Amino acid sequence: MPADTRQYHEPTLEERFDEAKRLTAPGTPLRRALDMILSGHLGALICVGDVESVIAAGNDGFPLDIDFSANRLFELSKMDGAIVVDENLKRIYRANFHLIPEADIPTTETGMRHRTAARMSVLTDAMVISISERRQVAHVYIDGQSFVIHTIAELMALVNQLLITLQSTRQALDRNLLHLTSLELDNYVTLADVAQIFSYFEMLMTAAEEMDDLIRQLGDQSRTISMQAEQHLGDMDEEYNLMIRDYARDSSTANARAVRAAFHAMDDTDFRDPALVGRMLGYENLREDSIISPLGLRTLNRVSVVRRGIADKIVDEYGSLQELLDDIEDNPARLKDAGVREPDILADSLFRMKGGGGR
C-alpha cells in the first residue's frame, strides 16, 4: 500500500478563529447550547478539543463518556467547573471539572472564569468558551486571544452598516473605473489616478473581508446576506488583479498577488501618496502627475468578443493598449494572430469606448 505523502498543515491563528466562528454560528449544535446557557442566565466554561492536555491540566469533577447534545451541554453547565468536549463535538468527557492552568501564564483578563479560559487556550490547543453569568456575554479563546459571540440582532446591525459601505464604495469605484477607461484610451492616465482607484479597490476588498467574517458568524442565517454581498462585489476581485497587472512593472500574476498583499498591508492614508503606490508597482522615480500607460488587460477583458485568455495574447502581440490603438485602425486583421475571431468588432468597440462612435 503506497505511503500517504500528504503533509500536515498546522492551522494558522486566523484559520482557527474562522473554524471557531463556524462552530459557534447560529444553527450549529454548540450555538444552540450556548444560547440556552445565556437564556438561562448561567455561566459556563467549555473546553473543545485537545482533550488529553485539558484533562492533564485539571482534576476532580465527573468523568463522562457520553454523546454530545445541546441539551446535555446546557444541563451540565448548571454545575460549577468546566465541561470537556472532543474537537468534533461528538463526546462529552468531563463535567464539573476543576481546571488548574499555570498561574504564570500572562493574561489581561480580570474575571476568574475568563482568566482560566485565556490561560487554558495558551496551555492547550483547545478552543475555550467562557460565559459570564453576571454580564451574560460569551467569549471564545484561542491561543490567548478571544472574540465575542454576538447575538443575531447585533450581527445583523453590523451587516446592514457594511452593506451600505459595500454599495457606496462599489458605486464610487465603478464611476472611477469608467473615467479611467476614457483616460487609458486617450493615453492620459497619471499615477495619481491609478493610486486613487487602488484605494477604492482596497476599501471594497476590506469591506468584503469584514462581510465574510460576519457571514461566518451568522451561520445558517447568512444565505441572503451572502447573495447581497456577492451582488456588490461582482467581478471586482478579478478586475483588481487585472488592473495591478496593467500598471505594475512586472505584469505576472505572481507579482500581482504580491503587490496586492502589499497594498492590503498599507494604511488608508498611504494611498494619498502616489509615489509610494508607484514604488509598490515597481517604479522608483514617478511623481503623482507622471503619465503611466496600461497594458490594456482590464479594458480588453471588458469587450465581449475577447474570449477568456485572449487579452493576454493581444497584449503579447502589441505590447500595450496604446500600441494596439495606434495600429488597429489601419490593420485590424493583425488581431487574428492573437486569436480574435472578429477583429472589426473589437476595433469598433474600442473606438466607441474612446468616444469616437466607432470607426
- Strand, helix or coil for residue 304: coil
**Reported confidence tier of residue 10, pLDDT bands at 50, 70, 90:** confident
According to DSSP, the residues that pair with 67 across neighbouring strands are 91
Among 90-94, 142-146, 334-338, which is the least confidently predicted range? Answer: 334-338
C-alpha separations of 42 from 20, 137, 355 in Å = 21, 10, 68
**Reported confidence tier of residue 1, pLDDT bands at 50, 70, 90:** very low
The pLDDT tens digits for 299-333 are 888 887 777 778 888 888 788 888 887 777 777 77
Taking residues 254-262, what's their average pLDDT? 95
Q: For the chain, give every domain's residue range.
A: 13-149, 153-281, 297-354
| DSSP state for residue 8 in the 8-state scheme | P
Taking residues 76-89, what's their average pLDDT? 94
- Strand, helix or coil for residue 340: coil
Alpha-carbon Rg for the chain, nearest whole angstrom, is 28
Distance, in Å, from the CA atom of 37 to the CA atom of 357, rounded to the nearest integer, reads 67
Cell triple for 173: 469605484
- Strand, helix or coil for residue 316: helix
Answer yes or no: is pLDDT of 29 > 70. yes
CB atoms within 10 A of CB 45: 22
Q: What percent of the chain has pLDDT over 90?
A: 65
Q: Say whether 153-281 and 13-149 share the same fold.
A: no
Q: Is-contact 304 271, C-beta < 8 A?
A: no
- Strand, helix or coil for residue 199: helix
The pLDDT tens digits for 201-242 are 999 999 999 999 999 999 888 888 999 999 888 889 999 999
Quote the mean pLDDT of the chain: 89
pLDDT score, position 294: 92
Distance, in Å, from the CA atom of 266 to the CA atom of 277, rounded to the nearest integer, reads 10
> What CATH fold (topology level) applies to the domain 13-149?
YojJ-like (1 (3.40.1700)
Phi/psi zone of residue 108: left (φ > 0), alpha (ψ -120 to 50 degrees), beta? alpha
**Reported confidence tier of residue 245, pLDDT bands at 50, 70, 90:** very high
How many distinct helices (H) and strands (E) make up the chain? 15, 8
Distance, in Å, from the CA atom of 57 to the CA atom of 101, rounded to the nearest integer, reads 6
Answer yes or no: is pLDDT of 248 > 80. yes
Q: Is-contact 310 335, C-beta < 8 A?
A: no
Taking residues 91-95, what's their average pLDDT? 96
Taking residues 241-247, what's their average pLDDT? 95
Tell me the CATH number for domain 153-281. Answer: 1.20.1260.110
The pLDDT tens digits for 152-181 are 899 999 999 999 999 999 999 999 999 999
